[in-house]
């Protein structure tokens, strides 16, 4: 077990290094934006003395590396600074938005993961059948369509022509669970269509690849039924790639929600990021980008650790 813990600790260390590099890129990208931030906040009519005073208040006169380490130190403690747009704490604005994004991603995952694995197993079980071909065509269509297009299609059919769900997902923290679930269903279905297609195709490919293995042929020669071959022999050995694709798609559910949240005006981190870019509220932009990056790296680590625990060959590479 010490070898497994060593691999996990190594992956965690690499994840922290990756997050550090990403934080440098985020801060550097904001620093390289053209124009004077203080001048843009005050407008062209501001005097030089006022601009100089604001630069002093914002700490823009200090070297960039000093401001980076101050920002990183505060971010580690959960302090992302103060918003330039409303002078409120960035963490206070980000926390409820991140909770909304997690709720939306969790709702989509609850629908997508069992549906994708079930469809993938069925497609592998009935390979080259009508069901398999239809599933492949539908999944390719979902993958090829951008999220905002799928969102507008669902709005037309499920909110305009048939008023099943509301077109605008204006949720709030004081709502009961049922109302929150109802108003979040359309953006959740939009995200479900995309990630289900990816996970279904990867599950199907992993199982079909294992069906050509010698131990599968031996099981068939012993008279084991096709369904038992897949559920008892192929599926357990396909867990490593399936866990990887599920974890990566869960990361996408959280980090790839920007377009979906904008389409449905959902009050999550993605909507906050777009609004802050419009207002040039750079502390909020940096915080949103860092949260997205940390979440994506975390789910990549979960995928790596899950693959290590589910595959003995990765635990003992020699």
Q: What does the radius of gyration of the chain's CA atoms come to, in whole angstroms?
A: 24
Q: What is the mean pLDDT of the chain?
A: 82
Mind listing the pLDDT tens digit for each residue in 19-64?
999 999 988 888 787 766 666 666 666 677 776 776 777 677 778 7
Structure-model confidence comparison of residues 55 and 117, the more confident one: 117
In angstroms, the CA 262 to CA 253 distance is 14
Q: What share of the chain is helix, strand, coil (3-state, %, to 5)?
A: 80, 0, 20
pLDDT band at 3 (very low <50, low <70, confident <90, very high): low
User: Tens digit of pLDDT for each residue in 169-208?
Assistant: 888 878 888 889 999 999 999 988 888 888 888 888 888 8
**Helix (H/G/I), strand (E/B), else coil: 281:** coil
Q: Would you say how long the chain is, in residues? A: 318
Cβ neighbourhood burial of 60 (10 Å; 0-12, 13-18, 19+) = middle
Tokens of 257: 């929600």
Instruction: Locate 36 and state its tokens.
Output: 């004077």
Q: What is the pLDDT of residue 24?
A: 92
Residue of 147, 239, 237, 132 lying closest to 192 (CA atoms) = 147
- Residue environment code for 189-223, b if the CB has 16+ CB neighbours within 10 A, otherwise e: bbbbbbbbbbbbbbbbbbbbebbeeeebeebeeee
Q: Is 89 helix (H, G, I), strand (E, B) or coil?
A: strand
Question: What residues are paired with 82 via a beta bridge?
Answer: 89
Architecture of domain 95-315: Orthogonal Bundle (1.10)
DSSP 94-155: HHHHHHHHHHHHHHHHHHHHHHHHHHHHHHHHTTTSHHHHHHHHHHHHHHHS-HHHHHHHHH
**Cα-to-chain-centroid distance, residue 295:** 7
Return the pLDDT at 317: 54
- Torsion of the alpha carbons at 267, 270, 275 and 281, rounded to the nearest 10: 120
Convert the pLDDT of each residue in 221-233 to its tens digit: 888 777 777 777 7
Half-sphere exposure of 31 (CA within 13 A, CB side): 17
Domain boundaries along the sequence of the chain: 2-76, 95-315
Give the 3-state secondary structure of residue 30. Answer: helix
Confidence tier at 79 by pLDDT (50, 70, 90): confident
pLDDT tens digits along 248-276? 788 888 777 888 888 898 998 988 888 88
Q: Is residue 165 within 8 Å of 182, Cβ to Cβ? A: yes
- pLDDT for position 172: 80
Token representation of residue 23: 């934080």
3-state secondary structure of 10: helix
- The pLDDT-based confidence of 2 (bands split at 50, 70, 90) is low
Rounded CA separation 91/192 (Å): 29
pTM: 0.83
* SS3 assignment, position 82: strand
Residue with tokens 């959960």: 78
């Amino acid at each position: 077990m010490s070898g497994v813990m060593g691999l996990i600790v190594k992956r965690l260390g690499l994840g922290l290094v990756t997050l550090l590099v990403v934080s440098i890129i985020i801060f550097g990208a904001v620093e390289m934006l053209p124009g004077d931030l203080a001048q843009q906040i005050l407008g062209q009519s501001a005097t030089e003395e006022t601009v100089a005073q604001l630069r002093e208040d914002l700490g823009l006169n200090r070297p960039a590396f000093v401001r980076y380490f101050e920002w990183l130190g505060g971010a580690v403690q959960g302090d992302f600074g103060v918003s330039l747009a409303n002078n409120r704490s960035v963490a206070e604005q980000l926390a409820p938005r991140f909770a909304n994004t997690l709720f939306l991603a969790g709702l989509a995952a609850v629908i997508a993961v069992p549906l994708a694995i079930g469809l993938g197993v069925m497609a592998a079980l009935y390979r080259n059948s009508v069901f398999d071909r239809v599933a492949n065509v539908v999944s390719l269509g979902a993958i090829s369509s951008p999220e905002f297009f799928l969102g507008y299609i669902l709005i037309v059919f499920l909110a305009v022509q048939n008023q099943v769900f509301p077109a605008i997902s204006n949720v709030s923290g004081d709502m009961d669970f049922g109302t929150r679930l109802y108003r979040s269903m359309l953006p959740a279905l939009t995200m479900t269509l995309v990630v289900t297609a990816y996970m279904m195709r990867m599950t199907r490919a992993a199982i079909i690849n294992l069906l050509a293995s010698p131990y599968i042929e031996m099981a068939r020669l012993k008279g084991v039924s096709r369904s038992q071959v897949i559920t008892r022999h192929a599926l357990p050995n396909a867990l490593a790639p399936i866990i990887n694709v599920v974890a990566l798609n869960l990361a996408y559910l959280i980090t790839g929600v920007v377009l979906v949240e904008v389409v449905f005006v959902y009050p999550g981190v993605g909507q906050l990021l777009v609004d802050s870019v419009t207002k040039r509220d750079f502390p909020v932009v940096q915080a949103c980008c860092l949260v997205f990056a940390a979440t994506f790296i975390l789910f990549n680590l979960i995928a790596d650790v899950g693959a290590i625990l589910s595959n003995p060959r990765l635990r003992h590479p020699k």
